[in-house]
Structure 1
Amino acid sequence: MPQFLLNKRLILLLVSIILLVALIGFSFKKDRNLSWPEEFIQDTIGLVQSVFHRPAQYVAGFFENVNNLLDTYEENEILRSQLNSYMQLEERIQQLQLENEKLKEELDIQNEQDLSDYEVIRGTVYVRNPDQWNELIKINKGTIHGVEKDMAVMTAKGLIGKVKSTSQFTSTVQLLSMPNRENRISALISTENGAVFGLIEGYDDELKALEMKIIETDREIKEGDGVTTSGLGGIFPEGLPIGEVLKVEPDAYGLSKIAFIQPAADFYDIEHVMFIKREMPTIHSEEAEGEEE
């Protein structure tokens, strides 16, 4: 009896395999009509796919958009940092170009003027108080560099003031634009009829011009005449450029003339300066004895 059941199971297995192979072969047959079970299964599968396909596609698209946004954000951060670096580099290039132009101007002014008799000490402004913008500036050179009190100070364009005080490594410069009547400078105006001497002893805030009291009132002075240091004051060397005549007016009493001088230097924009020290000629003892004889 058990043997009979075993044989029966084998027969059923073989029959099932044969039917399965037949169905597979039948399903691969071309140009045939689907049976109703196949149609049912196919329709069911299609309905399930259509129901779950759109949500699955939406979810996949959502995560893809999120990834794209993250990638875009990272790219924007990189581009922003590169743009900031570029702007900083561009600003630095402009600063270097301006500094280069100013240094060229200093070299040009030194070549144009006869500064061979002067000792030139170069310095840079490191402090400028907004409350005293037109009065005082601090320079990064002091007595250890050879700077002395009352030494003339100029930029590449012209005279700006004198040394007010010094320390070992720094100095304070009093500008010509400082409203101080005691800040006098002996100057001369070069006219067609010769030099006209006077004293610069003030500054007009409205005109942004120096006030020069003319000693010789009978000389004709024209607009644009050059003004330089005369060297007679005992402090400033001779021939340092100050500016040019803007206009000439009689003083409040009508006894003398006041010339308003447009400064050659830009008092608002001062960065690099030159300390000018006049080298006094020395007389050797042998020469002195010869002169006495």
Structure 2
Amino acid sequence: MLDRLLRWKVPLIILLVLILVGTIHYTSVPRREISKLEGLWRDMLSPFQWTVSKVGGFFQNQVAEINRWRGLKERNDELEERVVQLEAEVFTLRNYRRENEWLREALDFRDEGNHALLVAEVIGRSPSNWESTIVVNKGQSHGVVSGMAVVTNAGIVGTVINSSSYTSTVLLIVDAQSATGGLVQSSGDLVLVEGGQMDQGTLLARPLSRDTSVEVGDVIVTSGLSRIYPKNLPIGEVVAVESRQYDLSFAAVVQPFVDFTRLEYVLIVMPQGES
């Protein structure tokens, strides 16, 4: 029996190949009708084809979604990095604009006055509650020495109390150790302007004569009687008048024109011919 099958092996293979070739040729030609066997075969395969198609479509959609999400994440990272760069640029431009505005005002202030002025940047502040000082980036190598007046375009700031080659310490007028000769701009009456109210950021103006009259709203300027501050530099505005010693004297509370909490640049009053 086995021998018979082996003898018919080759003819059977040839027959199967011919049937397969014929079937392929027959089904590859476009026809309006198909055979029942072919239709049955197609119907049997259709559920599997539908399943394979759906599964393949699902995985294709998932891969496409993953690629889309990855692309969006990369784009979002690029945009976030760009936003950080733009914020840094905006911050820098704002600083430049603020500095330019201040330097322009300082230049106008220098042109209006007859004083030689040296621009200095504030690089430090005193951490002590007992002393109000700032440190600026100009010193002896720039011609700065103790006793020089420090101002801004808004008004007087203080006095240089010591200096190194490249830095100087400035005692602010709100410090308790500070005293400045001033006068009431409207009347010309002399007053002594003292610090000591650092917590309130105000000054005290005391009269130097019984006939001195000060009212709320009066502007106090430098008297020019000292060797430190030139005359008529703004100091501040009277915001209150307090009676002292049974109304025989008074002290005027003066709000400085300079905002000491926001000092970035100052002007050092130099001897004539230096700047």
User: In 1, Cα distance between the equivalents of 2:176 and 2:87?
Assistant: 40
| Mapped partners of 1:66, 1:213: distance in 2 | 78
In 2, Cα distance between equivalents of 1:137 and 1:42: 93
- TM-score normalized with structure 1 length: 0.79
**3-state SS of the aligned residue for 2:251?**
strand
1:111–1:166: structure 2 CA closer, same or farther, 3 Å change rule?
Answer: same
Identity %: 29
Superposed CA RMSD: 2.9
Cα distance in 2 for residues equivalent to 1:70 and 1:217: 83
2:226 alignment counterpart: 233
Summarize the alignment of residues 146-185 of structure 1 with structure 2, pairs less than 5 Å apart: 146-180=143-177, 183-185=178-180
- 2:70 is the alignment partner of 1:77: no
- 1:227–1:242: 8 Å Cα contact kept in structure 2? yes
CA contact (8 A) 1:217 1:257 kept: no
Give the aligned partner of residue 209 of structure 2: 216
Q: What is the aligned partner in structure 2 of residue 98 from structure 1?
A: 98
Structure 1 77/28 Cα, relative in aligned 2: closer, same or farther at 3 Å? Answer: same
Aligned-pair distance for 1:278?
Answer: 4.6
CA contact (8 A) 1:121 1:146 kept: no
Equivalent-residue separation in structure 1 for 2:32 and 2:25 (angstroms) = 15
**Residue in 1 that maps onto 2:3:** none
Cα distance in 1, alignment partners of residues 255 and 148 from structure 2 = 22
Q: CA deviation at 1:119?
A: 2.6
Cα-to-partner distance string for 1:124-156 (whole Å, 9 max, x where unaligned): 101124545971111000011011101110112
Structure 1 match to 2:40: 40
Q: Give the Cα–Cα distance (whole angstroms) in 1 for the partners of residues 218 and 244 of structure 2.
A: 19
1:258 offset after TM fit, Å?
1.1
Partner residue, 1:50: 50
Q: Is it true that 1:124 corresponds to 2:137 in the alignment? A: no
Task: Classify 1:19/1:107 alpha carbon distance in 2 versus 1 (closer, same or farther; 3 Å).
Answer: closer
Distance in 2 between residues matched to 1:18 and 1:77, nearest whole Å: 62
Paired residues of 1:123 and 1:272 also in contact (CA < 8 A): yes
Other structure's SS at 1:231 match: coil
Alpha-carbon distance change, 69 to 130 in structure 1, aligned in 2, over 3 angstroms:
farther
Rounded to whole Å, the distance in 1 between the matches of 2:30 and 2:200 is 107
Check conservation: 2:237, 2:256, Cα contact below 8 A. Answer: yes
User: Aligned residues, how many?
Assistant: 262
172 and 234 in structure 1: CA distance in 2 versus 1, 3 angstrom threshold = same
State the TM-score, normalized to the length of structure 2.
0.83
1:229 shift after superposition: 1.4
How far residue 49 of structure 1 moved from its aligned partner, in angstroms, is 0.8
